[in-house]
Structure formats: structure tokens, C-alpha cells
Amino acid sequence: SQQGEEDPQALSIQEGENATMNCSYKTSINNLQWYRQNSGRGLVHLILIRSNEREKHSGRLRVTLDTSKKSSSLLITASRAADTASYFCATGGRGSTLGRLYFGRGTQLTVWP
């Protein structure tokens, strides 16, 4: 399967704490992206990291990529109740699957006030 797999499936923390979600994948990728989905809505793109990058920041988000381990992590610092959502990693294919994005099952993050 070309889909990424997020870990953990669910994460529950208090406001102000950091949230870390992990993603593992199996095939060679062009890039890896993280998305957020509020319940019953479409997905919103958060951050993209290319296969030749190791770390990227955007506001309170920090993403790392280790292509040797085929894994990525998303860190949300100083979480807020509004960060409550499902978070998905998506891998961009190479070769015959160039142009396609494959999503994992997501991590459900709950941030308690």
C-alpha cells in the first residue's frame, strides 16, 4: 500500500501541551504533506515537506521527515482547544503514481481546555 499510517490513532491532551503525531510509509515518495480535518468537513492543507528536506516549520507546526526510516512527525506546540481535529499525512507518489496523493487513516487529536 502507498498509504501512510498515522500513530497514534487518537491523542488527548490539555491546552498548552505539545502534540506529536507520527506517520510511516512504505514506498519512495516525492513529498509528504499534512492535512487537518474538522468533523464533517473537507481537509485543509497544513504543510508540505519535500523528500530532500529534513525539517520544516510553520507557525506552531514543526514537521520532520526521515526518508531512511520512511517516517515523518508533526509537532503542534502550545496546543489550543481549536486544534481539536483529525490530522492526516499524505504521501506524493513517484513514477507511475506521480501526481497522486495517498492518505493515512489519521490521528484524532482532542485538546481539552
Partner 1 sequence: SQTIHQWPATLVQPVGSPLSLECTVEGTSNPNLYWYRQAAGRGLQLLFYSVGIGQISSEVPQNLSASRPQDRQFILSSKKLLLSDSGFYLCAWCESSYNLPLHFGNGTRLTVT
Binding residues (CB under 8 A) for partner 1: these are 3, 30-31, 33, 35, 40-45, 48, 88, 90, 92-93, 98-106
Beta bridge partners of 55: 64
- By beta-carbon proximity to partner 1, the closer residue of 63 and 90 is 90
- By beta-carbon proximity to partner 1, the closer residue of 18 and 39 is 39
- By beta-carbon proximity to partner 1, the closer residue of 14 and 57 is 57
- By beta-carbon proximity to partner 1, the closer residue of 62 and 105 is 105
The least CB distance from residue 42 to partner 1, in Å, is 3
Whether 24 and 71 have beta carbons less than 8 Å apart is answered as yes
The least CB distance from residue 67 to partner 1, in Å, is 15
Position 62, amino acid: R
Q: Distance (Å, rounded) from C-alpha 30 to C-alpha 65?
A: 12
Q: Distance (Å, rounded) from C-alpha 46 to C-alpha 79?
A: 15
Residue 46's Cβ-side half-sphere holds a number of Cα atoms within 13 Å equal to 27
C-alpha cell at 25: 510509509
The least CB distance from residue 95 to partner 1, in Å, is 11
